[in-house]
Amino acid sequence: MPPAPGPDQVALILCFHCHQPVGNFDDVIDQACARAYVPLLEAVAARPWLRCCLHVSGVLLSWAAARRPDLLQLIRTLAGRGQIELLTGGFYEPILPILPEPDRLGQIRRLSCFLHEQFGVEPRGLWLTERVWEPTLPRALAAAGVEYLVTDDYHFLRAGLQEEELGGYYVTEEQGTAVRVFPGSEALRYLIPFQAPEQVLRHLRDGLSRGARLAVFADDGEKFGVWPGTFEHVYRDGWLARFLDALEASRDWLTTITFSEWLAAVPPLGRVYLPTASYRELGEWALPAASAQAYVAFVEEQRALPSWATRRAFMQGGFWRSFLAKYPESNDLHKRMLRTSEKVNRAFPPGSPAHEALYRGQCNDGYWHGVFGGLYLPHLRSVLHRALIEAERTADLALRGPGPWIEAEQRDLDADGEPELLIATPLLSLALQPHRGGMLYELDDRSRAFNLLATLTRRPEAYHAKLAQAAQDESEERARTIHERVVAKEAGLERHLVYDAYRRTALLDHFLEPATTIHAFAVGAYEELGDFVTGPYEAAVEQPEEGGRNGVRVRLRRTGHVRVPNAGPGQSWALTVTKTLHARAERAGFSVRYELVGEDRVVDRPRAPGGGARLTADPSLCLFAVEVNLAMLGGQAPDRYYELPGHLLAARHLASTGETPDVEEVRVVDESLDLGVALRCAPACRLWRLPVETVSLSEEGFERVYQVRVPGDFLEFQVSHWQR
C-alpha cells in the first residue's frame, strides 16, 4: 500500500464507471467492450505502477460473463495484482433512493456477491448511480456493507463547503449510521480526456498549491472510446498513452491511489450533510423544457463572470425525482415497479427468480432522459416493462395458484390524487384513467410479458432549440464531451418537431371536422370539436358473474359538449359518450362498446358521407374517431407490419401512413415476438394508420425515434399468438 502523499505531493484517484442498459443491443455492448472497456483496462495493465478504481454494473458483468469472458479475465488479473479496487452498487444500476428499502439492500448485495464469486474481493465502496444522493441513504448503504461512496463535488458545494476544502473525504450519517463520502471533481470530468494531458496536470498542480492533497476523477468509461470521436482521440491519436506517460513522469509529486488506500492512510476532513443532489448537468435535464432553457441561459450568463467559481454552487436546477413529474410514462413505470416490488417481496424471500426480474425492471436508463436516448428509446422502456410483468406474473402464480381469475380495483395507482382502474387476469392487465378521458394507458399481454401501451408522448425538450445549430456543428470532428456536442443524424429534423396536446395512449375519443385529413391529424393541425379526449369520465365497475371470476364490465360515461361547425359561433350540443369495456378471465382480449347519446336519442353512427356520428338533424357531420397508440417496436422492420383482411396495402410496415375505408379488422403483427394484435370494428370504419416519431438527443446527436398509433373506431381488441 503506498503511503499517504507528503505535503508537496497530491494523490489522484482514477475511478472508471462502466455500464450498459438492460435491453441494449448485443452488438452495441460488444462494440463498447472493443472500443472502450478492454483497451482502457489493457492500458492500465501495461503500467503496473498505476492504481485505479473500477465500477462495472452487474448488467455489463453478467453480459460479459456470457459473451466477453476476456473482459472478466482482464478485471480478474488486475484485481488479483491489487492494481484496481472494485466498487459495488445496485446490480442493475438503479436509482437507489427511489427503490423500496428491501430492494436497495438486495441490489447492492447481489453485486457484492457477484464480485466476490468472480474476483475474490469484498468491495468496500459503492458507485452511486447518476450520483443521485438523498440524505436517507446512509442507513441502507451501511446495512449492505458499504463503507464509502463517491459523489460529485457539486454535492459538497451545495452543502456550503469551498473548493479548497474538498481535498479528501467526509463522514455523513443518518440517525447515527455513518458512511464516508468522496467528492469527484467536475473540472476533471471535463478535462479528461478532452484536453491535453499537460492541462490536466496543470490543474492538479494548481490544486496542490491551494493545499488540496487529493483529487478524484470519477466518470464514465464510455468516454474512453464510445462517445463520438473519442476512440480515435483516445487511442489512435494517443491521448491515453500520453496522459499515462505524463502521470508516470510526475511521480515525484503525483501518485495514483485507490479509495481504500486513502481511507487507511488519512483521517476524514470532518462531518458533512449533503443535500438532495446529483451532478450539476442532471439538474438541467430534470427541469421542464421552458425552465431548462431559462436555467441554461442563466448558467451561461454566470459562467462568463469572474465570480462563476464561487457562484456555481448555487446553480441548482431540478433533481432526479422531477423526471417522474416531467414524464408521466416514467412515473407509470416507477409506480408499477413499486406495486410489483410489494407483491414479489410478499411472495418470495430475497434471491428468487422473481426478484431477479424485479431488479432488472429497476435499471435506471429507461426512467429518464438527458443527453442519451434513455426514456425515448422504445426498446429500453419495453424491456423494463417486460421484466416487471414477468416478476408480477411469477408472484401472482405463487400467491394465487394456477387457474383462471380476474380482479378489478379502483385506487390511485400513479399517486396523482385521483383513482385509476386496474383489471387483471392471468392473461391480461389493463389500467385506465377515468379522470383523463377514460383512457387506457396500460395493456399487458402477460403471457409474453409485453406492454402494448408503453408509448411516449411528443413533448418539447429544451435542446430542441439547438437544432438550427446542428448543421453547423456537424462538420466538426474533434472529440468533445457529449454536453457540448450538437449534431443532427439527418437533415430537416426540425420539421418533425410536433408536440401532442394529450398523452398518446388508447381509447381516446375525438370529434373532428369532416374535412380533417390524416396529415392534419398527424401534425396536430386540426380542431378538436369535443371535450372528451382529456375530460373526466364517471366510472362504474360491474362483476355480473359469480364472484367476478369470469368477467368484469367497466362503464365509463361522460356528458360533454361538441361544437357542430355550422351551428353558429359559441354554440355546442350536449352529448353523452359511454364506453363499456368487458374482460373475461379466460380470454386474451377484451371488447369495448361505444354508445353516443344526444338530443335524448341514441346516435347509431349512420354510414354518412365521410363516416361519423350525426349529432342533430342538421346536415353537418362530426367525425367520431377512437385513437389507439400501440408501442410496437421497429417501424421499418420487414417482420413487423399491418394486415387488413380484404384490403391490399401498398406499404404495410409499421412506419407507413395510410387511410383505408370500410375496415372491419386491422392486425398489427410482430413476428419476432410471436405477437399479433387484432382490432375488430363493427360496423366497419375508416382507418387511419400513421407513425408517431419523436425527436430526441442521444450521444450520437439528434435523431427520430419511431412509435406507432392507430386511430379508428373498434369494438373488440384481441391479443393472440401469431402464426404465419
Beta bridge partners of 236: none
Contacts of 314 (CB under 8 A, 6+ apart): none
CA 583 to chain centre: 31
221 phi-psi bin (left φ>0, alpha ψ -120 to 50, beta other):
alpha
Q: Which residue has the cell 491551494?
A: 210
Query: Checking DSSP bridges between strand 439-445 and strand 428-433, what pairing results, if any?
Result: antiparallel
Catalytic residues: 130, 220
Distance CA 446, CA 333 (A): 16
CA distances from 66 to 4, 69, 238 (A): 40, 7, 31
DSSP 252-270: TTEEE--HHHHHHHS----
Q: For residues 453 and 665, is the Cβ–Cβ distance under 8 A?
A: no
Contacts of 384 (CB under 8 A, 6+ apart): 22, 23, 333, 360, 361, 363, 366, 367
In this structure, which amino acid lies at residue 264? A
CA distances from 651 to 115, 640, 672, 678, 699 (A): 51, 12, 19, 18, 32
Distance CA 432, CA 439 (A): 6
> Three-state SS string across 409-425, please?
EEECCCCCCCCEEEEEC
Contacts of 208 (CB under 8 A, 6+ apart): 8, 9, 10, 253
